[in-house]
Amino acid sequence: MSPQKTPTPKPPLNSKANLAPRPLVAPCGLDCFRCLGCSEGNVADHAQAIAEVMGDNFQIYANRLKTFNPAMKEYSSFRTLLDSLAKPSCGGCRSKTRTCLPSCKVSECVCEKNIEFCFECDNFPDCESTGLPESLLERWKNNNILMKEIGVDKYIEGLAERPRYP
Ligand code: SF4
Ligand code: SF4
């Protein structure tokens, strides 16, 4: 009788590895850690890992493989995107290299007030100084209300349980 093969357990998609370190949660509640523009985030880590495994010469292989795998015809575009995901330039909302929304005043403002998140501010939720467009204003408000209600640690766990781009 052949020995039964035990399947290698895969970590769940929303494992602890997806939990944002607290400084990588923006004061508006967005998850910088899983943002594809963040050099400190896990999208960049995963993209670098794929790029390393494939190496720099995969185009030669893609040319061969495309005879029976038509998707390989797209390798060049895929590689351009992969390389871009592997080397994003934003260090996160709280960093000096932030490249998120130029009009946003939130990260600067929390720094000046020496607080971590807007829900800690006396002006929240009626603040008119965020510089955020309507579409993000709602999220900024709801995220901060939720953080206030359930606490930042629980909020971070909740972030990891849903897609970064819902
Ligand atoms: S720059 Fe503004 S919108 Fe972007 S993550 Fe930071 S607080 Fe949020
Ligand atoms: S003034 Fe507005 S943007 Fe600044 S910390 Fe308070 S709520 Fe946030």
Sign, CA dihedral 147-148-152-153, equals: negative
**Cβ(42) – ligand 1 distance below 6 Å:** no
Phi then psi for 63, rounded to 5 degrees?
Answer: -60, -35
What is the per-residue pLDDT for 16?
Answer: 54
Quote the pTM value. 0.86
Mean pLDDT, rounded, for 94-119: 96
Going from the Cα of 162 to the center of ligand 2, the distance in angstroms, rounded, reads: 26
What is the per-residue pLDDT for 1?
Answer: 47
Query: What is the number of the ligand 1 atom nearest to the C-alpha of 29?
Result: 8
Partnered with residue 25 across adjacent β-strands are: 31
Condensed to tens digits (0 to 9), the pLDDT of residues 3-41 reads: 555 665 544 444 557 799 999 999 999 999 999 999 999
What is the per-residue pLDDT for 166?
Answer: 85
Query: Whose Cα sits closest to atom 8 in ligand 2?
Result: 118
Residue 93 has pLDDT above 50, yes or no: yes
Does residue 33 contact residue 116 with C-beta atoms inside 8 Å? Answer: no
Condensed to tens digits (0 to 9), the pLDDT of residues 61-82 reads: 999 999 999 999 999 999 999 9
Residue whose entry in the numeric block shows the structure tokens 């955020």: 132
**Cβ(136) – ligand 1 distance below 6 Å:** yes
Closest C-alpha to 131, from 113, 105, 164: 105
Q: What is the rounded (10 degree) CA torsion for 38, 15, 146, 121?
A: -40
Condensed to tens digits (0 to 9), the pLDDT of residues 118-154 reads: 999 999 999 999 999 998 999 999 999 999 999 999 9
What is the per-residue pLDDT for 112?
Answer: 97
Going from the Cα of 81 to the center of ligand 1, the distance in angstroms, rounded, reads: 24
